[in-house]
Amino acid sequence: MDEISSSPSTARAEAPSRSVAGATLSWLRDLSLSVLIAIVIILFLYQPVKVEGTSMMPSLIDHDRIFINKFVYRFGLADIGRGDTVVFWYPNDTSKSYIKRVIGVPGDTVEVDDGTVIINGRPLDEPYVKDDFRDHVSTRRQTLKSDEYFVLGDDRKYSNDSRNWGVVPRQDIYGKAVFVYWPLDRLGVLR
């Protein structure tokens, strides 16, 4: 059996030999690596964004700051699913980003009848839309193509969404909203 031992006097003698400059360089190296990792995560995985507007109330409110996952959809790690809160380029002006909830996915038949969303002939259960935020708008029935998504805001009374301007093409969806980080009293995972 191999053993390594040091006498107490040897261990004490080595501790003071480490210089302040060496400790500072080690700390700066670790800090630089941490900053680099944070930059890579923010640029390629998660992006902080600020919510502007009230169309996603009460799930998201004006000026909430959230993280979106830009990686999960881009590389096919997950499918865009009904109920996901997504960030996308507004189809009528791709210089603007919108955030809405996915209601209809490719292949679905979607309609809104007096405020009730009907997917494939059945009313959609939407616990995220509170009664105070419902409206009585109706839309025609449509079947979504293989790269189309029907999106709505949670505050149906004040949302500019697929009922107004149509579907969102798959290539325009660039992130999934995942986490509210500010204000602190709203800190948490998005549902």
User: Active-site positions?
Assistant: 55, 100
Residue 146 has a CB neighbour count (10 Å cut-off) of 7
The Cα–Cα gap between 48 and 59 comes to 17
The Cα–Cα gap between 90 and 172 comes to 8
Output b/e per residue, 50-89; b: 16+ Cβ within 10 A: ebebbbbbebbeeebebbbbbbbbeeeeeebeeebbbbbb
The Cα–Cα gap between 16 and 182 comes to 44
CA 84 from centroid of its chain's CA atoms? 9
Q: Is 171 helix (H, G, I), strand (E, B) or coil?
A: helix
